[in-house]
Structure 1
């Protein structure tokens, strides 16, 4: 079994155990706020189940129907998880408003306090572990699951503080206010996850990934990589797919062009900590490139090298050679 599957199973079994504890706390206390927390735990369990399937599917090799692999299913996983969180937040808010009309007293507060505290500690610890392992493994699904558990833990801590206030003040309306606050927080968290998944499905540029690629290219830059432009990057699960135009001396033979492109691909894959598939269009240099071309002993140089053009996330994606905007 892969590391990713083991991590998701850890999240799933943790979610089931904590969900049972939270519902136990709800039945003991009859607290709307605790019900809100328990309802979100159902989301954790369902989301982890779907995440397990998405990890399985994303690991499948490329095939004729999926030439880029199955990695995009991770964005669907985040979408489902975010959607479920959003729905849970909405239900919690509705129940909170109902509680304003039909209030009920909270009982056995301290028993609920200790049960919810224990779930918050476990959730935060497991969530932090999943976040770190997800970042290391470049798995958006695991990282999102870890963030979700920590959101759950933070909402539980707010709930604990509220239960203590109810205990010392005997103000029952605090329970309803807490429920509404937690519902709003959960709703906002679900929205952010939905936004992230839609961005990925729509191939929105990932600023952090683009910056990482640019940093690697600058650190590995060769003289005959005269110009890189029209760079586009897509993420499919734990892999990147990148295409760009690479300007080289126009007198290079086809064999030499092939060697330079191979070196470019190797350099990028060595510098990044995730596999990258590249599609590179070879461009010939032009006389206007000479002033920023650092190729030594060039037989066709029209003017001296006078300017170094730094590669940035702004100029590399543009579909133009750099002399046009330099």
Structure 2
């Protein structure tokens, strides 16, 4: 007899079992969530938009903007369209500034950019993720 009271002795172990089960489910849920990709939080999506805004001055455009999180890492990829007569250096400098602003806005972000020409019709549409 644990408590000395017959009505409490079976109740205490059941409460402990419920607590242990509840805690275990919470740990399992957090572990599985850390292994699966998910969308960025609304706050992070807003921060991403604010980071890009200063760079999206005509004629610069962005499409195929994709973002996700996996554990503590954040991933952002996008295609940036610029005039075809821009030098490689000018386009590269723009992308470096955009990537730096995104990383400041979203810590732990891995940013991948792809430079495209506005004059190339192949650049105007997103590429489907399931090309296979």
Q: In the TM superposition, what whole-angstrom CA distance separates every residue of 1:227-247 from its partner, at most 9, and x where no partner exists?
A: 24252434465xx35241223
Q: In the TM superposition, what whole-angstrom CA distance separates every residue of 1:252-311 from its partner, at most 9, and x where no partner exists?
A: 321122111111111112223x233322222333699xxxxxxxxxxxxxxxxxxxxxxx
Alignment correspondent of 1:233: 68
Alignment correspondent of 2:130: none
Q: In the TM superposition, what whole-angstrom CA distance separates every residue of 1:20-66 from its partner, at most 9, and x where no partner exists?
A: xxxxxxxxxxxxxxxxxxxxxxxxxxxxxxxxxxxxxxxxxxxxxxx
Does the C-alpha gap of structure 1 residues 198 and 105 become closer, same or farther in structure 2, counting only changes over 3 Å?
closer
Give the SS at the match of 1:173: coil
Matching of residue 106 in structure 1 with residue 3 in structure 2? yes
Higher relative contact order structure (alpha carbons within 8 Å, sequence separation ≥ 6): 2
Alignment correspondent of 1:97: none
Contact 1:246 1:280 in 2 (8 A): yes
Matched residues in 1 for 2:12 and 2:119: separation?
66
Contact 1:242 1:278 in 2 (8 A): yes
Counterpart of 1:214 (choices 33, 38, 45) is 45
Give the SS at the match of 2:110: strand
Matched residues in 2 for 1:284 and 1:258: separation?
13
Alignment correspondent of 2:15: 181
Q: In the TM superposition, what whole-angstrom CA distance separates every residue of 1:184-226 from its partner, at most 9, and x where no partner exists?
A: 232133123212212322x321542xx3332112222122452
Alignment correspondent of 2:26: 192
Contact 1:247 1:285 in 2 (8 A): no
TM-score (norm 2): 0.66
TM-score (norm 1): 0.31
- 1:62-101 aligned within 5 A: none
Displacement of 1:177 in angstroms is 1.8
Give the SS at the match of 1:320: coil
Q: Which structure has the larger Rg?
A: 1
Matched residues in 2 for 1:182 and 1:259: separation?
60
Alignment correspondent of 1:283: 116
Give the SS at the match of 1:279: strand
More helix by share: 1
Q: In the TM superposition, what whole-angstrom CA distance separates every residue of 1:124-177 from its partner, at most 9, and x where no partner exists?
A: xxxxxxxxxxxxxxxxxxxxxxxxxxxxxxxxxxxxxxxxxxxxxxx5323422
Contact 2:80 2:116 in 1 (8 A): yes
Contact 2:67 2:75 in 1 (8 A): yes
User: What do you get for the CA RMSD once the two structures are aligned?
Assistant: 3.1
Matched residues in 2 for 1:182 and 1:286: separation?
68
